[in-house]
Amino acid sequence: MHNFEFIRPQNAAAAITAAAQAKAAPAETRFIAGGTTLIDLMKLEVETPERLVDVNRLPFDKIEDLPDGGLKIGATVRNSDLANHSQVKRDYSVLSQAILSGASGQIRNMATTAGNLLQRTRCMYFRDTAMPCNKREPGTGCPAITGANRTLAILGTSDHCIATNPSDMCVAMAALEAVIHVEGTKGARTIAIRDFHLLPGSTPHRETVLEPGDLITYVTLPPPRTGSRQVYLKLRDRASYEFALASAAVVMTIAGGAVSYVRIALGGVGTKPWRSLEAEAALAGKPANAANFRLAAEAGLRNAKPQSENKFKIELAKRCLTHALKTAAQG
Ligand SMILES: Cc1cc2nc3c(=O)[nH]c(=O)nc-3n(C[C@H](O)[C@H](O)[C@H](O)COP(=O)(O)OP(=O)(O)OC[C@H]3O[C@@H](n4cnc5c(N)ncnc54)[C@H](O)[C@@H]3O)c2cc1C
Ligand code: SF4
């Protein structure tokens, strides 16, 4: 691994200052939290920051109630602590289910809320510096489009990149309509999770709306939906320690046999955590039955664009969402 400077600030302002000094060359400074994404990529020389700014001593390791009934989750809260928090298990169980379906116990003990939001694609070409890749080195090309793309995206792709966003946590947060709180050199701001990750377009190296020096401080969840049924279903090549081929997060309420509220997000199929407004619109107000669940899934995948090896994901994702909705309806 290359040489780098390691800085351990005690407060957010010092962390932002240390990171913002990289403004002219953003790739040269990175915040580091659990390190389960970043250190991996540094060992592979995919990321070669000259300065690491450690966020682990910043006071963002708490989960707190908000006055409006919502929840505030600090940026350095470990994924294990979040998934096993009693209120999260009770009121936001889709989030708990999603986190526990990912990685391994050891990795979840290290991984943080902010780090998970910013984890990078598992596309094999991105992780191999011997190969071209528009995301890693803009303008070099995308070998996945004509190469190994079985696990890659079918929604939100472009001619420049078809990489899947690998996070489970983010899919649940998309269905819960989380808000990300950021502090940067220009002050504090909030970003709805729907607007946080970017589509690849012609700039796949830009994955989020964050600017150099922006520090994620916490994430908030709106007050829980009373009586909501919540399901995260993840389909993958093996039962554990594997990323999703397709996943679905569902938050739904049913009144008088009809769907009175529904939020749907898909994982494993999109270039970003994929909130499906199409599936939601197809289901809202309709009788909560298997036929309508399937119609919602059809609507959610209508714009899917498969590559040579991943056409199977269209039907897989439809079945995944249909089953998640059925499971949620059964309560
Ligand atoms: C073998 C393996 C299997 C895995 N399986 C799954 C899986 O099935 N599902 C899944 O969802 N995930 C999986 N993961 C990914 C794992 O969830 C992520 O690596 C983890 O969430 C990243 O969190 P971290 O704190 O370790 O991030 P780090 O590696 O510390 O950081 C990741 C990125 O976030 C940035 N960052 C960190 N904190 C902040 C902050 N406060 N503000 C701004 N930027 C920040 C860093 O600069 C870096 O760019 C797996 C990982 C491994 C290694
Ligand atoms: S899909 Fe994206 S990450 Fe993968 S090789 Fe193409 S440009 Fe790189």
Residue 82 has pLDDT above 70, yes or no: yes
Residue 319 has pLDDT above 70, yes or no: yes
Numbers of helices and strands, H then E, in the chain:
12, 12
| Mean pLDDT of the residues in the chain | 95
In angstroms, what CA-CA distances link 20 with 26, 46, 186, 193, 294? 8, 21, 11, 23, 48
pLDDT at 331: 80
Residue 292 has pLDDT above 60, yes or no: yes
Residue 26 has pLDDT above 80, yes or no: no
Q: How confident is the model at residue 13 (pLDDT cuts 50, 70, 90)?
A: confident
Write down the residue that tokens 């599936």 correspond to.
279
pLDDT at 22: 55
**How far does residue 280's CA lie from ligand 2's centre (Å)?**
30
pLDDT at 27: 61
pLDDT at 15: 84
**How far does residue 142's CA lie from ligand 2's centre (Å)?**
5
Q: Per mean pLDDT, which range of 12-16, 289-293, 301-305 is the poorest?
A: 12-16
Is residue 296 a contact partner of residue 279, using CB atoms and an 8 Å limit? yes
Ligand at minimal distance from the CA of 156 is 2
What gap in Å lies between CA 257 and CA 286, rounded to an integer?
A: 9
- Sheet with 187-192, strands from edge to edge, namely 63-65, 71-74, 215-221, 179-184, 187-192
Which residue, by CA, sits nearest to atom 31 of ligand 1? 115
Q: Does the Cβ of 265 fall within 6 Å of ligand 2?
A: no
pLDDT, one tens digit per residue, over 168-218 is: 999 999 999 999 999 998 899 999 999 999 999 999 999 999 998 899 999
What gap in Å lies between CA 153 and CA 16, rounded to an integer?
A: 33
Residue 5 has pLDDT above 90, yes or no: no
- Which of 44, 119, 127, 135 has most ligand 2 atoms within 8 Å of its beta carbon, as the pocket-test mutant? 135
Q: Does the Cβ of 46 fall within 6 Å of ligand 2?
A: no
Q: Per mean pLDDT, which range of 13-27, 132-146, 151-165, 259-273 is the poorest?
A: 13-27
pLDDT at 18: 80
pLDDT, one tens digit per residue, over 206-223 is: 999 999 889 999 999 999
Ligand at minimal distance from the CA of 122 is 2
pLDDT at 293: 98
Q: How confident is the model at residue 233 (pLDDT cuts 50, 70, 90)?
A: very high
**Percent of the chain residues past pLDDT 90, beyond the cut:** 89
Q: How confident is the model at residue 164 (pLDDT cuts 50, 70, 90)?
A: very high
What gap in Å lies between CA 112 and CA 13, rounded to an integer?
A: 20
Residue 57 has pLDDT above 90, yes or no: yes
**How far does residue 155's CA lie from ligand 2's centre (Å)?**
14
Q: Does the Cβ of 121 fall within 6 Å of ligand 2?
A: yes
**How far does residue 152's CA lie from ligand 2's centre (Å)?**
9
Ligand at minimal distance from the CA of 307 is 2
pLDDT, one tens digit per residue, over 148-159 is: 999 999 999 999
**Residue 228 CB coordination number (10 Å):** 21
Closest among 37, 35, 19 to 27, alpha carbons compared = 19
- One-letter amino acid at 325 equals L
pLDDT at 223: 98
Q: Does the Cβ of 162 fall within 6 Å of ligand 2?
A: yes
Is residue 154 a contact partner of residue 310, using CB atoms and an 8 Å limit? yes
**Residue 312 CB coordination number (10 Å):** 13
Ligand 1 atom having least distance to the Cα of 214:
43
Pocket of ligand 1 from Cβ distances under 6 Å: 30-38, 40, 55, 75, 79, 102-103, 107, 110-112, 114-116, 118-119, 166-169, 215-216, 243
Rounded to the nearest 10°, the torsion over CA 148, 153, 155, 160 is -60
